Structure 1
Amino acid sequence: MMHEVSDSKPKGKSGGGMFRSIKNFDIYPKIDESYRVQTSGGAILSILGWILIAILALAEVRNYMTPKFKEHMIVDTSLGQQLRINVNITFHSLTCNEVHLDAMDVAGDNQLNVEHEMVKQRMSRHGIPIGAAGVEIIGEGPIEVEDHPPNYCGDCFGADTPEIRCCNTCDQLIQAYQLKQWSVSEILRNSTQCIHDRAKHFANIGADEGCTVSGKMSVNKVAGNFHIAHGESIVRDGRHIHQFNPALAPKFNVSHTIHSLSFGDPYPSMPANPLDSVKRIIAEDESTGLFQYFIRVIPTIYTNEYGRQVFTNQYTITDRFRPLNMPQANGDNKPQEAILPGIFFVYELSPFMIEASRIRMPFLHFVTKLCAIVGGVFTVLGVLDSILFRLQKMTSLKTR
C-alpha cells in the first residue's frame, strides 16, 4: 500500500520541501520487494553478465598497461648535427696493421686512420682473440723504448726534414712519414723503432692473423662513406688517395663479418639493423674484390610514454660485390675497370624523419571504458532478460 505524505508542516521549516524536490532528480526508481519477479533465465543472464564484465575489464586493464607503438613520417629540419656511427667488424684474413678505417663526406672532410680511436683485437685464423685489445693513438700514451745513448739519433729512413732530424720512437717515425705522405705499413711491421716500441700493440704481428675493429666515430650529418681498403691512405691536393702495390692487391682478402653496424643508440622495439651478423667470405681460390654497401640513413626520434626522447637513426641497404680481375697469363689483356679491393659503406641521409612513440592510454579514458563496459553489459542483458520474460509470459498465456 502506498501512503501519501501530507504537506501540512509549519511554513518555517522548509527542509522537508527541499528534500522532496531533490527526490525528483532520482533516476534510479526503487521497486518494492513484493513487486519483483526473479526467474531462472534472469539468473543465468546475470551470471553470464558478470563473467563477461570480468573478461572485458581484464582485457581493458591489459590494454591500459601495454603502451601502443606508433610511427609516422615528417620532414627532417634538423641542422648542424653530428652522425655517430657504431662499428664492430671482424676481418678474417687481414692483420690489424692492414686494417685502416677512413671516412670522407661530400663536404670535403677526410678522416684518415679513424681506427686509431677504436679498439683493435688481434684474431687467430680460428677466430680466437690473441692477447689484449689495443687502442692505437698516434702521439699519445706512455712510450716504452730501449735505452739509448744520450746523443742517439734514430734513422728516419729518408723521411727526415729540417724540423725532424731524428726518429727515436715509432710515433716520431710515423709522424715523419705522414708529413712526407708516405705509406707507414712497412715501417710498422719492420722498423726497429716500432718493433722495440712495446706500446704498439700491432707491431711485429703474424701475417696469418685476423683483426676485429670496434668502436664509434662521429661524422658530419651529410652524405659520405667510410671504408677499409688496400694500401695506405693520404690526402693530396684535397683528394683521398690510397697508395699500394698493384701486385699485392690479389692478396688483400677482405672476408669479413659485420657483427653490428648502427647509426646512433637503439630504442625499445627498434627494428634490427639490416647489416647485423652479415658474413661475407672469399675462398682462397676465389678473387678478392670490392664490397659495397649502399646505405640510406633515416633519422628517427623515439619518445617513450614518459616523454624521454632518443635521437637515433635507422637504415636500409643494398649491396654488391665487384671482383678484382687481373690480366690473364695468355696475353689476353683486355682493358679492365680499376677496382680498389676493400669494403665501402656509402651512406646518404633521407630528407624525411621517423617519429616513433610509445603512447599509454590516459587514466580517465581507462576509467571511462570500464564504466562503459559495466553499463553496456547490464543494459544489453537487461533488454534480453525483458524479451525472454515477455516471451515466457506469452507462452504461458497460450497454454492456458
Structure 2
Amino acid sequence: MYHSQQNPRAYGGISSPPAQEEQDGNSLLKELDKIAPMKSFDAFPKVQSTYTAHSRRGGVLTVIVSLLIFLLVLNDLGEFLYGEPDYSFSIDSDLENDLQLNVDLTVAMPCQYLSIDLRDAVGDRLHLSSAFAKEGTIFEAGRATPQKLAKVSKAPSASKIISDSRRSTPNQKKSLSGMRALFSKGTDQLKHFQYRPTHNWVKDGPACRVYGSLSVKKVTGNLHITTLGHGYMGSGHHTDHDLMNLTHVVHEFSFGPFFPAIAQPLDMSLETTNHPFTAFQYFLRIVPTTYIDANRRMLMTSQYAVTEATRVLGHNDAVPGIFFKYDLEPMTITIRERTTTLYQFLIRLVGVIGGVWTVAAFSLRVANRAQKEVTKAVAGEKDVIPSSLSRPSSTRRSSSFLGMGSASPGIGRTNSWLSVEGSGEWKRR
C-alpha cells in the first residue's frame, strides 16, 4: 500500500495527489469541466501539418473560390460606397400648382420669322413670342448629336443629381444685383438671368436662339415653333420659302426647377432638314420625380421620356414647325438612395467569405469521396477491417514503468495506480 504523502512524480505522473486535485477544483474552469469536458466544444480542431495533403484539384478550387469571393466583395463594396436606388410610386395629388417649362434651343433661321405658341387641353391659346427671349446668332451644331443616334447612358445616382442641381455651371448665370440689375431692368437678360449669354451673338443674325422659363398649367399641352404665315397666327407677314429652315439644336428642354447641370433626354440633340416644309414632332411623357439621397437631401423636379418623329410635308398638307407635345402621368415617383452602413458591410463581408469557403470545402470533400467510391467500385476492392484480437506471431515483451520485463511471451505486463475515494491511500492494481 502506498501513502498519499509520496511524490506522485515517482509513479510516472499518471495522477495527481488528492491535495493537488482539491486545489485545482476550486477554479470555475475545473468545475465546468466536470460537468462537460471543454474540449468537446472546440469548433476549431487542430490538425497536424503531417496529416494534410495538398492536391492540384484543391489548388485550382482555391483560385476559383478566391476569384468568386473577390467579385462578390467588390459588388458589396460598390453598394457600400455608392448605394442603390429604391423606387416608390404614388398617385399625384398635387393638381393645383403650375408646371415650370424651361426651353433653350437654336433654330437655323432669323428670329423675326419665328412664332412661338402654346395650346393646352383646357383650351387656352398663348402667344409666347414675347415671353421667351430671342437673340440672333450663328447656327453651330457643336457637340449636339441626332436624337436617333444618342446613346442611352446609365441613370445617375440621386446624390449626383442633387449635387448637380446645386452646382453652378458655365451654362448658368448668377443673379444680377446692385447697379447692374438697375441698369439691366426690363431686358430679357434680367428676366431669364439663369441662362448663359448667347454665344456668337449677332444682331439680326442668320440663326435665332430661343430661351426662357415660364409657368404653364399642369395639363396636356403643345408648344410649337412655326414660321410667320405658315402657322396659327393670322398676320400679314409671309415667310419666303427660301428662308424657311427648321434645322435646330435643343440645348435645354425640361420641366420643373431649372437645373442646367442635370441631363435631360432632349439636351444637346440635333435635327436637320433640307426641305422648307418639315415638321419635327416630339411626344413627351412627364413624371413628377422626387430624389432623396443618403444624406436625406431632397430635390423635387420632373423627368420625361420622349419619342420623336419627322415628316416632310407638301405645300398645303399641314403646318411645318417644331412641336413639343407633352402629357403628364397621373403618378409620381420617389427615388431614394439606399446605402449600406459600415456595420452591415462588415457582416455581409464575413458572411460572403465564410459561406463561399465552407460550401467550396464541402463540395471538394463530396467530390473526393465520390471519386474514391467510384474507383473502389471499378477496381472491385473491399474494405479490410483489422481484428482487434489479432496477435503478432513473434514474441513481444512489454516493460512496466518500474522497468520490470514480462517473462511470458505475447503477454505484456502493465501497472497502474488508482486512488481510493474517501481515503488518502493509493492502491496498486
TM score, norm. by length of structure 1 = 0.57
Q: Is 1:315 matched with 2:305? A: yes
Tell me if structure 2 keeps the 8 A contact 1:287–1:324.
Answer: no
In the other structure, the counterpart of 2:70 is: 58
Map 1:353-392 to 2 at 5 A: 353-376=332-355, 377-378=357-358, 380-381=360-361, 384-385=364-365, 388=368
Q: Is 1:210 matched with 2:207? A: yes
Deviations 1:321-358 (A, max 9, x none): 473625xxxxxxxxxx6x55532322111123344444
Tell me if structure 2 keeps the 8 A contact 1:91–1:255.
Answer: yes
In the other structure, the counterpart of 2:271 is: 279
| CA–CA separation in structure 2 for the residues paired with 1:244 and 1:372 | 75
Q: Is 1:296 matched with 2:281? A: no
Tell me if structure 1 keeps the 8 A contact 2:104–2:251.
Answer: yes
Quick one: which amino acid aligns to residue 316 of structure 1?
V
In the other structure, the counterpart of 2:93 is: 77
Q: How many positions carry a matched residue from both structures?
A: 306
In the other structure, the counterpart of 2:28 is: 15
| CA–CA separation in structure 1 for the residues paired with 2:74 and 2:107 | 47
Tell me if structure 1 keeps the 8 A contact 2:288–2:333.
Answer: yes
- Range with greater deviation from structure 2 (245-254 or 307-316): 245-254
Deviations 1:75-127 (A, max 9, x none): 333333442333221111223x3344344433466654366554x44223677
Quick one: which amino acid aligns to residue 384 of structure 1?
L
User: Which of residues 235, 250, 260 is equivalent to 1:258?
Assistant: 250
Deviations 1:149-199 (A, max 9, x none): xxxxxxxxxxxxxxxxxxxxx99xxxxxxxxxxxxxxxxxxxxxxxxxxxx
| CA–CA separation in structure 2 for the residues paired with 1:288 and 1:212 | 20
Quick one: which amino acid aligns to residue 263 of structure 1?
F
SS for the counterpart of 2:209 is strand
Q: Note closer, same or farther for the CA distance 1:12–1:84 as it changes in structure 2 (3 Å cut).
A: same
| CA–CA separation in structure 1 for the residues paired with 2:141 and 2:351 | 62
In the other structure, the counterpart of 1:88 is: 104
Quick one: which amino acid aligns to residue 64 of structure 1?
D
Q: Runs of 5+ in structure 1 lacking a partner?
A: 129-139, 145-169, 172-203, 233-239, 327-336
Q: Is 1:223 matched with 2:220? A: yes
| CA–CA separation in structure 1 for the residues paired with 2:15 and 2:306 | 82
Q: Note closer, same or farther for the CA distance 1:345–1:44 as it changes in structure 2 (3 Å cut).
A: closer
Q: Following TM superposition, by how much is the alpha carbon of 1:308 offset from its aligned partner in structure 2, in angstroms?
A: 3.4
User: Which of residues 70, 85, 101 is equivalent to 2:116?
Assistant: 101
- Range with greater deviation from structure 2 (367-376 or 84-93): 367-376
In the other structure, the counterpart of 2:235 is: 244
Quick one: which amino acid aligns to residue 330 of structure 2?
P
SS for the counterpart of 1:40 is coil
SS for the counterpart of 1:244 is coil
In the other structure, the counterpart of 1:201 is: none
In the other structure, the counterpart of 1:352 is: 331
| Larger Rg over CA atoms | 2
Tell me if structure 1 keeps the 8 A contact 2:284–2:305.
Answer: yes
Pairwise CA RMSD of aligned residues?
5.0
| CA–CA separation in structure 2 for the residues paired with 1:265 and 1:302 | 13
Percentage of pairs with the same residue? 19
TM score, norm. by length of structure 2 = 0.54
Q: Following TM superposition, by how much is the alpha carbon of 1:70 offset from its aligned partner in structure 2, in angstroms?
A: 5.5
- Range with greater deviation from structure 2 (47-56 or 342-351): 47-56
Map 1:145-160 to 2 at 5 A: none
